Structure 1
Amino acid sequence: LESAKMELENLPVDLEGLLAETADVFAFRAAEKNLELNFHVDSALPRMFMGDFQRVKQILVNLIGNAIKFTEQGEILVLGRHVTRTTANGDTPYIHFSVRDTGIGIPPDKLGQLFQAFTQVDATTTRKYGGTGLGLAISRKLCRMMGGEVSVVSEAGRGSDFFFELPLRVAPDDAGKEEEYGWLETVQGKSALYFCKHPTAQQLIGQYLSQWHMNAQVANTVAEIPARLQGVSLLIVDVTEQPVEDVQAAFQYAAACDIATVALVPLSGARNRERFAGLPGARYTRLSKPVKRRETLGTIAELMRARSARPVPVPQLSMPAPALAQQPQPAPPSYNPATYAAPMPPTQAAVPMVTPSMPIRQEAVAPMQAFQPAVAAMSTAPANAGSAFMSAANAPVEPVLPVYGAQIQPPPSPQSSIPAAAFAEMVPPPPPEPTWQVPAESAAQGSRSAAAGHDAQISQSTTRALAKSASANGPSFGDSYPARILLVEDQPLNQKISSMLLQRLGYGQIDIANNGQEAVEMVSQRAYEIVFMDLQMPVMGGVDATREIRGNFLLKNQPAIIAMTGHALTGVRESCREAGMNDFLTKPVSLDDFRRVIPKCLNDSALTPMAP
């Protein structure tokens, strides 16, 4: 990357699948912090585009990871939108990716230094959250290699919006559309009842159901669901923080009425899976949050095509059960895919991007200031204004203008940062699906697998490491090069992999420190020959820990310190060398890496610095 010799792939990429897979990486962490994580793709975008799946995902991983790290309450919303930019070649379509959070925010005078390696807002942030700023620097380089740019607008104490844009090159997508048309034919015209406590998730589900031509109604509480099931074909319930008894009662009534039921369950532990396992014979399934449009549509269609295996008894509760015989549904209109693929209305350019190296310009802020009174008026809407959202969503919408900087409104509640009507501006009503012209060079590559190389990097790294470790002849190496080793790493999975590889080499006892501060204390209490040091850690990072160890003149013998990081930029190596590290390993680390560096460290003086 640093030498600009990285080769980029040019393969068909499923845009919605890309965001879904990336969001899934953080679903468990968001649920643990009680954060609402959602994503949405503008229906004006094609489903497939030509690009490098892994590189775009790497940028999104960095941005979403930062959003979750620096957000203590509220939500993270990931958006994909279609915008048009005026370039030397005329109007050019772009994909605008946006990661919005309700976190700690960034002061205006600190925005310009965000994308510099080893730079954070202040020392307090580094001590509390860890990190070095490398992720943003790498994201910027990757984005520029792909013909785009990454930037941010933020307000301290309110939240941030990190966004980037990439040129849109459409890929062929015939098979995917045909499958979706079949699902739409099954669900259109049906009645649905849904409940979500969080306004953003509620509005997203309502948007999807309306887009699928379903007659959707929102429930204000789970307890009222049994009384509203008559004539309903589909029930969707987000079980997050809901009374288990109320949810189970609603599911029992739905099963008794043979209603297709979907439970939206956060990835916060096995208890949720056990509590909401469903009833035998019921048309019921669970979907993990965040909500995924295509997955949800396919699941609903399959549930509606199915028939219950056997009758489910009506529960004996104080509330009278709804009639088992549903009201006859009106015959849905014949579904015409052509209406779903109507030409896209013209899209106006969005607000000019603010580059990291310059302050926010007045001409970029002025359009948002003109737009702000409408947002301020809408911010008084109640948190659960589902019907208000639907009416606002169906009204004409101006071009999407992000509410940035000083224009960010205070959230109406700790769980909701986005007022219902304001959300309609961010997620406009879906226009008819556009008919895209696929470039000839893109069509020629259509036969190549869209999923090629799309496995998660951590899975690939783990697989490679374990495969190599299985064939290693470990003990003889450890006997030849005995050493007491300290591994400094904050990620449990990386701790496990590195320890396993070192044990395969014959090092039976590996001490582990979870951050740089622990490493400094352990080195002062026990003699180590080698310290393998991660760079990005909470409390104290690897570079600062190395400086502390090298500055401790009470140590009789200084250990060799080896940097371990996923970033190989020249600036990173230089910082490690200046801090006093002896060598540098790039993750994922292999057995061959350990075989190479351990003898070198033991044979050379520990104080010999690494080569520039």
Structure 2
Amino acid sequence: MGGRGASLTWLVVLAAVLLGVLALYFSWNNGTAQARVTGDFLILAAALTAGISCSRAARRGENAQAWSLLSVAAFTWAAGQGIWTFFGLTNNNQYPFPSIADALFLAYSVPAAAALFSFKRPDRTTKVGWFRAALDASVIAGSVLAISWYTALGPALSSDGDFLTVLVSAAYPVVDVVMTSLVLVLAMRRQPGERLPWLCFGSGLLALTITDSTYIRLTFDGVTGVTGSPLALGWIGAFLLIALAPMVPYAQKPQPERKAFALALELLPYAPILVALVVVAGPHVQELGTFLLVVARTTVVLILIRQVLIVVQNITLTTGLEQEVAARTADLEGLGAIVNSSTDAIMSTTSEGIITSWNPGAERQYGYPAAEAIGRDIRILLPQGGSDGTEETLQRLRESLDAMNFETEHVRKDGTVIPVSVTVSPIQKDGNLRGIAVIARDITLPRAAENELKAARTAALEASRLKSEFLATMSHEIRTPMNGVVGLTALLLDTPLDETQKQYAEGVKGAGEALLALINDILDFSKLEAGKVELDLRPFDPRLLVEEVAGLLAEPAQAKRLELIAYCEPDLPSRLVGDSGRIRQILLNLASNAVKFTAAGEVAIRIKTETRDATPESTAMVCFEVRDTGIGIEPTQHARLFESFSQADASTTRRYGGTGLGLAICNRLTAAMTGEIGMRSVPGEGSTFWFRIPLPVAPPSTDPLPTADFLTGMRALVVDDNATNRLVLESQLRSWRLKPDAVPDARTALARTREAAQRGEPYDLAVLDLCMPGTNGLELARAIKADPVLASIELIMLTSTMQVKGSEILDAGVREWLMKPVRSSEFYNRLIRLMSTSARRPPAERLTAMTNAALRERAASGSSNRGLARGRLLVVEDNEVNQLVARSTVAKLGFAVDVVADGAEAVASVGKMQYDAVLMDCHMPVMDGFEATGIIRRREDGNKRLPIIAMTAGALDGDRERCLAAGMDDYLAKPVDPAELEAVLARWVPDQATRFLPGQPLAVTGGQPSTTSGHPRQVLDGNRLAILRDLGPADGMGLLPAAAEAFRKDVLERIASLHQAVNDDDGPALARTAHALRGAAANIGATTAAALCGEIEALGSTGEPGGALQLLSRLEAELADVNIELLQVLDGAP
């Protein structure tokens, strides 16, 4: 369209230029013979061009008849022009009038008029519109006739010529009047998109009629040779416009009629009247007086203004109405199209239920044609004998006028009953129910699909139940012998074995643990698929968690010579609330994968918080990351990596092993904790797996923790070739308020320490990596200690290999060393021990464990018969191998143990002996564990509850609930992990102030702890002692020696202060001192001493210090026992 428009523009420009040149030519050569010949031929060419253009338009199809008639009219006129030209050439430019040429000039009007009527007429023209068009035509024709009569027709009829001359002379004005009227009237009623083509050929026809009228007028005036004058431009321009009309494209989209154009159309009939008035009355104006002339002109102007205003007002009103009607009509047509094309049955009824409309969808759905359905009651669609709720529905619609949705059944014409979903909407008028609109959808297929879905769900639930039963059974059958394999192998490894035997036993243990891990993966995945995983939300220490994971992977990482780094960001909260077991499971899975798929380099485990300044009771977004320098993963494998039974490369299954369930389990566990999991990887460079979980922040622990304010401000130097290690160690030291620097090698370290010493800012501490390229850590330590300026720097060595002897490290001047990965807590405790005993500190501040020889002799002499028995347990187990494992494991934990084979024997044993706890198998012959537990609980009848701990090979969530529901207190899955067993026993069999020989009844005295000969009471809390050992270095003693020495030194001063407060009758002082000693005693595990301090504190707070003297004597005796017990523990006494 764009190219055609450009060509048309060039044609118009070219025609305008041509007409301009011809105008100049005819003006200069007006009336000459040459000009006449030129004008004749140019007019002939223009007429032929118009005819050819119209005939070509006729072949395009649209308005073909009209364009064909116009081409006939143009060729007819061209024939007359050809004869005219012949006369001019043969008669020395003399043209006879009238002649045969004039007949053809007039004859063209017949096909031209027919063509005007043949064009496509506007749609929706009303009778009034046609009458108005005829009236407009009459007004225009009358006005044009008046003008023609005055200019041409009148003179023609009154001339003295012969009849033929007068007839031909009169015919020209009559034809002109008819053609002008037709063009004006028909053009006024065209659509906006068709007006430009009509403007072209309508203007051409008007130009032709006006030129012909002028030609007649000039002929009467005796002017000849008009084709050689500028008048020739009228004929040439007329036919060029007609030729141009077929080339003008119709508008693709009809444009809305503009108001100005509408106004012009309405005023168009008045234009000929005005012209006629001027033409006819003009010559007689001078005959009127001045006053009458002014009044007449003013009256005419006012009439015209009034008429224009009327027309404007009418157009404004009608245009708005027409547009609104058109818009509403379009909306109704669109709505009708929607209704007719809908597959749903759409119908309307009267307020009484008589059908008034029925769409094609209703015809297809119910089988009733519209003609048959309309006028009938809608009840024809209701089943016979069914409940007819039509009246109720109508009544509800009348009352509420709200739409309703419901499902029911309808009957087709052939009697078939179909389920339908029905929407009923009221049609309102003035707030009253005028009718009802109904949409009914056949839901046969959706209903069938729903039934199939229900059946499939039922089948799936049944299959899931059967699978769960199968897994429970298989778990029990596999775990029972596995308990023997793993347990006996672990016990075997604790016995003296030669190297070959030890290797074989370790292989059996490893294979058993691998099989157990596979079983656990399958069970975990099954639980996750069934949505049966329950989270155990408890406070936990994230730093301890990451250190535990690193500790589990330390050995395989060292075996592959990998750098294993585990750390928490300093701003991570110290305690969080969550399922630490599940989080550990995810982190361990990701980290073990990293170790497995990394051949060289490092594996870094990091925990950070993405929520800054998280406070207790708020929620922090915690991110766990595992980064490795392993094989990496191709981008195409990322999407399916967390799918079930999927690994990045199938070959890795053969090379590294694994079920492909690990990451799928991690993904589902993370989702269960409302978190997300993902990864980043570059093949050949390594991968980073991460998961983010929102975790509430728990309040800080209330347990007293060792403090080391003296570390504040100490300068430390970290020497490690691994950048990540340097970053972690710097972060840890800075969080403990030291001032760390870090260097990558020994040479830089020596230079840095010497520069610091010269500046008068020597380093207090150096943390050295053992394995570094070039100069290793041992050589660097020797160099530092050999330099008198640097020798006072305390050294800690970090090593990832066991090939260096401790004596070599000590000889190099290193007093403390740690195995990688370094636990933050262990590093901190070693740091305290190292710097608190440093020669750089005053003796008064040292916390070294100094032993008092005299007190040691007293303790040794008075403790030869003291023991630390933990209690007696009853193991109920029918499998002989499992009996052996249980007996040995429990005995190894320090408990006396009895073993019975079934529930009946367990009931009998509990009735005869007193036990601290029962380990109960669930599935046994004669009487199972559930029944036995029920009998034991009924016999207790409100007495002290005996802890019963389930030991079962079942591993599904339902097994745990069943055990707890039966009255058991806790649950262990086989094979039983000794660490888990010890943790459970610690919960249910706490250390007591008084302990008796197994099997003897418990004697209770009035509030004061008593002892029985042969089994003295336990003075110190074993759990607290274990905590102090764990806080220290991995040498078995930890912080216990330093804490014990600090406590012993503090006791003497506190006892003296208590005596002074009692003597002075100073209650507040007594309460303060007792409170301080109470905390110290609790911290060391002296529970009885702490309780006595609490009683003394209460007396001081109530203002009765005098009553504390007896308690103070008991406290001194208790503290003496505590002191002796501490020495026994430190000496390793039994």
TM category, shorter: 0.3 to 0.5
TM-score, structure 2 normalization: 0.26
Greater helix share, 1 or 2? 2
Greater strand share, 1 or 2? 1
**RCO (CA 8 Å, sep 6+): is it higher in 1 or 2?**
1
TM-score, structure 1 normalization: 0.47
Instruction: Name which one, 1 or 2, has greater alpha-carbon Rg.
Output: 2
